[in-house]
Structure 1
Amino acid sequence: MYPTRPRSALRTAVVWEVVRAALEQRAAELDQPVLDVLDTGGGTGNFAVPVARLGHRVTVVDPSPDALFALERRAAEAGVTDLVRAVQGDTQTLPEVITPATVDAVLCHGVLEVVDDPAEALGNLTGTLRKGGLVSLLAANRNGAVLARALAGHFNEARAVLDAPDGRWGAHDPMPRRFSVEELGDLARAAGLRVDAVHGVRVFADLVPGVLVDTEPGAMEALLKLEQAAAEQPAFHAVATQLHLLAALV
């Protein structure tokens, strides 16, 4: 099952399926059915609770007390309270709240765009991992934003995204930072990670009019399958809204 309601699953299905399969494979490799998973910036548990429902122990580190309160309520509703731990903090405080080399997998979704220093953040994340541990990185795609601004008729903003070091289209851009595939991969490798797979996320979901998905019979399921089929093809990485890297600590 997907970790969110069907309409929202258009934006999360690709990453969820990759994470679920990677955790299953890692558990089999270790001959260890229960993994220790860290979800940094995990908020209300969009991924943490479904991962816990797979039977794994999940620690969510997030700076928002309101989000962590919602996480605990969501975990209780799902019956996985004993597998989910909420910790207030961020990537800078990880060394203080997570014992080094005790984690089997890290989820870092939508975090590198907003931290002050992405390299430092990744370094702190990898410090929590056991050797061979998994990292799921999800970040905003610079080139996807170029396409989105151009299709919206904002051509100067599209050009700005293309040229700006941080991938922003201007002072009013709500996204603090975006990455190209190469930039995200370089960050991961510099942190001691081996990049095993790259996926384009939301290749079509943000471009297709919502009315088509909501009203056409079978359209949502067909679009989900299309997203999954295109995700691993490099030709579509450039136009995806987000980039997903699956990596491991070497």
Structure 2
Amino acid sequence: MSEEEDRVVDEQWRTRRGGVETSLRTSAVWAAVHDIVERRAAELGRPLRVLDLGGGTGGLAVPIAELGHDVTVVDPSPDALASLSRRSGERGVAARVHAVQGDADSLAGVVGADPVDLVCCHGTLEVVDDPQATLSALADVLAPGGSLSLVAAQRLAVVLARALAGQFAQAEQALTSADGRWGSQDPLPRRFDADALRAMVEQTGLVVDAVHGVRTFSDLVPSALVDTDADRVALLRLEQAVADSPQFAFLGQLGSAVHVLAHR
């Protein structure tokens, strides 16, 4: 990266490290969502209406609300929503964060006649009953020009992780199984391949803008090796360098998650 890009990464790290919305696990996704929010708000000249399906305790919703936008979090867990309410109150954005207990089937009733400008579905598609139906429900509540930010667990990452742990049979099962699981004890109901996820989003009628892997290295590096600010900044730079370099795009297939950005 150039000296200016290095400066930006350092500034982003210093700005975000203390916030609940960012960490090594979330910084790349947050940067992309932040860019969408800022651009769309400038186009519309007003605060955005945002829907976060499965947003739980507000790790994404509260930072978006802090930017001045209205966020509705739909989640089936009353405990998570209670934590969300506490967090939004502590951060002074309770008036802009709305907690609704529900799931994808209830989105139309939650949104009503006014479609939303941004839909976020991060770490949720893995656990819903019908991923394709959920994506269709998300697409249906988007306004024209509205965006979807979708993050889901990626298959090849767990294959690599199981192999490096010496669990070769589990790695093979994750590689060849239809759902990307390594066995009956796997905590996730399913994982996705990037191309398949793109096709699922396109099936809803949305236009895919970008598909990229995130957390290529962060989930593989032992925490003891990133226990200083300098280590974390260096790892964040490495992750961003991979994301920014087309010649290394193939490494994104090893990211723990895949991030799909699309629009109506």
The unaligned stretches of length 5 or more in structure 2 are 1-14
Structure 2 Cα separation of the partners of residues 213 and 134 of structure 1 = 34
Counterpart of 1:136 in structure 2 is 149
Q: Tell me if the contact between 1:100 and 1:128 (Cα under 8 Å) persists in the aligned partners.
A: no
Query: SS in structure 2 opposite 1:46?
Result: coil
Query: SS in structure 2 opposite 1:42?
Result: coil
Candidates 204, 210, 228, aligned match of 1:191: 204
Counterpart of 2:131 in structure 1 is 118
Query: Structure 1 stretch 5-14 or stretch 184-193: which is displaced more?
Result: 5-14
Query: Structure 1 stretch 144-153 or stretch 233-242: which is displaced more?
Result: 233-242
Counterpart of 2:11 in structure 1 is none
Counterpart of 1:237 in structure 2 is 252
User: What do the CA deviations read for 1:198-228 (whole angstroms, capped 9, x no partner)?
Assistant: 221111111111111004x510111112112
**Which contiguous aligned blocks of 4+ residues in structure 1 show a shift greater than 6 angstroms?**
none
Instruction: Identify if the C-alpha distance between structure 1 residues 7 and 37 changes in structure 2 by more than 3 Å, giving closer, same or farther.
Output: closer
Residue 29 of structure 1 deviates from its aligned partner by: 2.2
Residue 45 of structure 1 deviates from its aligned partner by: 0.3
Counterpart of 1:209 in structure 2 is 222
Query: SS in structure 2 opposite 1:147?
Result: helix
Structure 2 Cα separation of the partners of residues 165 and 147 of structure 1 = 17
Residue 9 of structure 1 deviates from its aligned partner by: 0.3
Query: SS in structure 2 opposite 1:221?
Result: helix
Query: SS in structure 2 opposite 1:125?
Result: helix
Structure 1 Cα separation of the partners of residues 132 and 97 of structure 2 = 27
Residue 5 of structure 1 deviates from its aligned partner by: 4.8
Candidates 38, 54, 69, aligned match of 1:24: 38
Q: Tell me if the contact between 2:21 and 2:63 (Cα under 8 Å) persists in the aligned partners.
A: no
Counterpart of 1:224 in structure 2 is 236
Query: SS in structure 1 opposite 2:99?
Result: strand
Q: Which amino acid aligns with 1:167?
A: G
The unaligned stretches of length 5 or more in structure 1 are none
Structure 2 Cα separation of the partners of residues 62 and 242 of structure 1 = 21
User: What do the CA deviations read for 1:103-145 (whole angstroms, capped 9, x no partner)?
Assistant: 0000100111001111100111111110111000000001111
Q: Which amino acid aligns with 2:258?
A: L
Instruction: Identify if the C-alpha distance between structure 1 residues 4 and 113 changes in structure 2 by more than 3 Å, giving closer, same or farther.
Output: farther
TM-score (norm 1): 0.94
Residue 33 of structure 1 deviates from its aligned partner by: 3.1
How is 1:13-52 mapped onto 2 (pairs within 5 angstroms)? 13-30=27-44, 32-52=45-65
Q: Which amino acid aligns with 1:218?
A: A
Q: Tell me if the contact between 1:101 and 1:127 (Cα under 8 Å) persists in the aligned partners.
A: no
Q: Tell me if the contact between 1:100 and 1:127 (Cα under 8 Å) persists in the aligned partners.
A: no
Instruction: Identify if the C-alpha distance between structure 1 residues 84 and 3 changes in structure 2 by more than 3 Å, giving closer, same or farther.
Output: farther
Cα root mean square deviation, aligned: 1.7
Structure 2 Cα separation of the partners of residues 184 and 147 of structure 1 = 20
TM-score (norm 2): 0.89
Percentage of pairs with the same residue: 52
Structure 1 Cα separation of the partners of residues 40 and 236 of structure 2 = 25
Residue 164 of structure 1 deviates from its aligned partner by: 0.5
Counterpart of 2:102 in structure 1 is 89
How is 1:147-186 mapped onto 2 (pairs within 5 angstroms)? 147-186=160-199
Structure 1 Cα separation of the partners of residues 152 and 196 of structure 2 = 11
Instruction: Identify if the C-alpha distance between structure 1 residues 82 and 49 changes in structure 2 by more than 3 Å, giving closer, same or farther.
Output: same
Query: How many pairs does the alignment contain?
Result: 247
Residue 93 of structure 1 deviates from its aligned partner by: 1.7
Structure 2 Cα separation of the partners of residues 201 and 71 of structure 1 = 25
Q: Tell me if the contact between 2:217 and 2:255 (Cα under 8 Å) persists in the aligned partners.
A: yes
Residue 96 of structure 1 deviates from its aligned partner by: 2.5
Structure 2 Cα separation of the partners of residues 18 and 97 of structure 1 = 26
Residue 169 of structure 1 deviates from its aligned partner by: 0.9
